[in-house]
Chain A
Amino acid sequence: GQQLNQSPQSMFIQEGEDVSMNCTSSSIFNTWLWYKQDPGEGPVLLIALYKAGELTSNGRLTAQFGITRKDSFLNISASIPSDVGIYFCAVTGAGSYQLTFGKGTKLSVIP
């Protein structure tokens, strides 16, 4: 099946630092999404990207849909303790009802 490569797998950062993570694929996709999963909870949608080159912000979060449609990044500015969790990228193709998820980036924030 389709494979998404998320990096890094995990990261430890100091509170207040900025964070960057990315997701790449060997295939082209029409929609890229970023989800966050808190411990013991289901994933929650953070940002959805529908157009190549699109840059979208949601509070301290910024995500971009790569021009080649094969990658996306997520930035978090001025991290706080509640940013802790696992961040997943997900993609879908034209006319598809299914999402393919990356394996996640586990973020730990040191106060």
Chain B
Amino acid sequence: NAGVTQTPKFRVLKTGQSMTLLCAQDMNHEYMYWYRQDPGMGLRLIHYSVGEGTTAKGEVPDGYNVSRLKKQNFLLGLESAAPSQTSVYFCASSQSGATQYFGPGTRLTVT
């Protein structure tokens, strides 16, 4: 099992550009999550999904959109990137909601 994988690992964007981050899990988990991690802030939840075709907002959803068209994939989109979205993005999945398994992260820089 690969667990939770994320692509790409690194990306540099110019302000106003768009991009999509892909998360995939092979554990047949129902729940998937997108977090961002900034220095000194811990992990903050952006959006999450409790099943295929469903999404919900987390603590810091503004400027992001998500889609869960297939159970194993959870996509995070930035329509118009801003420097404030420079961060490390982590995807996680869970069967129960409490015990979450994290991917290796995507380091995004917006200039």
Contact = CB atoms under 8 A, between A and B. Distances in A.
Interface residues of B, number: 25
Contacts of B102: 35, 42-44
A92 B90 contact: no
Interface in A39-94: 40-45, 48, 88, 92
Interface stretch (B12-20, B37-45, B77-85): B37-45
B53 interface: no
B97 interface: yes
Contact of B101 (A45, A96, A98): A45
Contacts of B104: 41-42
Question: Which are the 8 A-B pairs with shortest beta-carbon distances?
Answer: A42-B102, A97-B97, A103-B42, A101-B42, A101-B43, A31-B98, A43-B102, A92-B98
8 contacts: A40-B105, A42-B104, A48-B98, A92-B98, A97-B97, A98-B33, A98-B97, A102-B42
